[in-house]
Structure 1
Amino acid sequence: MSPLPVIVLLHGFGESREIWTDFTRDFPDQYRLLTPNLLGFGTNIHDVRDYSMEAQARYLADYLRQRHVEKALLVGHSMGGYAALAFAERYPDMVAGLSLFHSTALPDTEEKKANRDKNIDFVQRHGVEKFMESFIRPLFAPANRERLIDERCFLEDIGKATPVETVTGALRAMKERPNRTEVLRTAGYPVQFIVGKDDVAVPVESLLPQLALPAESHVLLLDDVGHLGYFEQPEVTRRAVLDFAGRVFGR
């Protein structure tokens, strides 16, 4: 029997692998699911000195090789998508497909870079807990901010448990990441975009030109969804990922 096709789900900034627990609960057993903690997040907090997307890509390559995975579908939420793009740039033969879940191949704008610096300064002055109390809420679409209070608290708790070195290091790494639209343009595998129309972190207008770059592109545009579709529209986004996996693996 051939080994099961592998889906790797990569969490975003201030998150951990726990965000995927409910999302993947009903995934069929025809796939092997891997949900690593990226460097500095969750339980993966020991001896981390480099938080760059390139370091995350190298870590992911080692993580997959240790588990004898030759090729996988990468599903990256937000910063997880940045890490997935860095991985795809360096290890294209290990990528069966790429799903950018509220993520982008563009670098930060100058305005966004300035905001990263402000956030770093805030964290250093006031701590991670205060930062997460203001950071998470705007990531939900306005229609969902009161409806999904438990989910917001869940994410805030994960974020507050993240070391200050990780938060500031990851903010710098996101600020310094390069333009990786060429990865989309040269992708020899299908690419999926899951886009929230109310996403303040990755505005839909900035994504539209990217949708046509891959040779095979699949797009899901979501009304009343911000940056957290796995909570804001879990059934729809789960089905989209599974349908995409079926296309990638011919199932």
Structure 2
Amino acid sequence: MMQKTITFKNAKISFSDVGKGTAVVLIHGFLENSTMWNTIKPKLSKRNRVVTIDLLGHGKSDCLGYVHTIELFSEAIEAVLKHLKLRKYILVGHSLGGYVSLQLAKNNPSKIKGLCLLNSTSNEDSEERKKLRFRANKMIQSNFTNMVRMSFVNLFSEANRKTFKTEINAALQEALQTPIQGYMAANEGMRIRKNSSAVLVENSFKKLIITGKKDPVLDLETSLQEAKKTNTKIVFLNGGHMSHIENKEELITALKAFIKFC
């Protein structure tokens, strides 16, 4: 699939646009890029127009300074969607992509047909997690490969680390191509982000949380409480934080049903 680019604030933003029908915008997570959707995109683009975008400092998109705030990530995505003249769309954001999707929905509520948080949350980081991110940004400068390898592998449930060894390794190779500046800028952006549950509460577009029962990053009970508080439908899958690898078929089924529902 041919990647295209636009220029946003002198930075190159890379994206792909395939298929016809309802526009579905897929936004990847931290240390990922739009290749994470490669096995899902063909299934969704049979009946929909599917747009995938590399976030700033990830994949083939440039870095833009030393802090990529969630607002800045969102502005870059908006620039692509404006370029494509999309008037209404469904957002699916994985992890960091979910935080960006929430910001997009906050900025453009009338354009959103549906919002799916995939292994993601509208809550801000806990104090403990903020400290971890701060430490990681110090350590990453001298130990990039080991840090990325460790944090990446830890996203999978223990059993799945063996089951999906090949897929995990391929995804890890993509993660290792993230520039250090991209890692640090995104990590700081996530650390300082605010709670955005009001976006789910105050808007009438369709909403879905897809969560892994064994997600080591997002506690299942917290996700359940979030869904209840924000009146958002929740779907449980059996794996960890990387549903697109660990529960691919179930994820495709859930996404197709959600798109239809929107």
1:118 paired with 2:97, answer no
Q: In the alignment, is residue 102 of structure 1 matched against residue 119 of structure 2?
A: yes
Matched, 1:161 2:177: yes
Offset at 1:203? 1.4
- 1:29 deviates by 2.4
For residue 48 of structure 1, report the CA deviation from its aligned partner: 5.0
What does residue 96 of structure 2 align with? 79
| 1:42 has 2:67 as partner | no
Residues 156-185 of structure 1: CA distance to partner in whole angstroms, max 9, x if unpaired? 111110010010111100000000011111
Whether the 8 Å contact between 1:185 and 1:214 is mirrored in structure 2 is yes
1:222 match: 237
Residue 153 (structure 2) pairs with residue 137 (structure 1): yes
Can you give the 5+ residue segments of structure 1 that lack an aligned partner in the other structure? none
Distance 1:32 1:152 in 2: 28
* 2:261 alignment partner in structure 1: 247
Q: CA offset at residue 201 of structure 1? A: 1.3
Deviation, 1:142, is 1.4
> How far apart are residue 212 of structure 1 and its match?
2.2
Number of paired residues?
Answer: 243
Alignment partner for residue 207 of structure 2, among 191, 198, 205?
191
Segment drifting more, 168-177 vs 22-31? 22-31
Q: Which runs of no fewer than 5 residues in structure 2 stay unpaired?
A: 1-19
Say what the alpha-carbon RMSD is for the aligned residues: 1.4
In the alignment, the residues of structure 2 paired with residue 179 and residue 227 of structure 1 have an alpha-carbon distance, to the nearest angstrom, of: 20
TM-score of the superposed pair, with normalisation by structure 2: 0.89
CA–CA separation in structure 2 for the residues paired with 1:148 and 1:187 = 38
Kindly indicate whether residue 201 of structure 2 is the aligned counterpart of residue 148 of structure 1.
Answer: no
Could you state the TM-score of these two structures normalised by the residue count of structure 1? 0.93
Deviations 1:124-149 (A, max 9, x none): 1212x221111111111112011111
- The DSSP-based 3-state class of the residue aligned with 1:61 is helix
How far off is 1:214 after superposition? 4.1
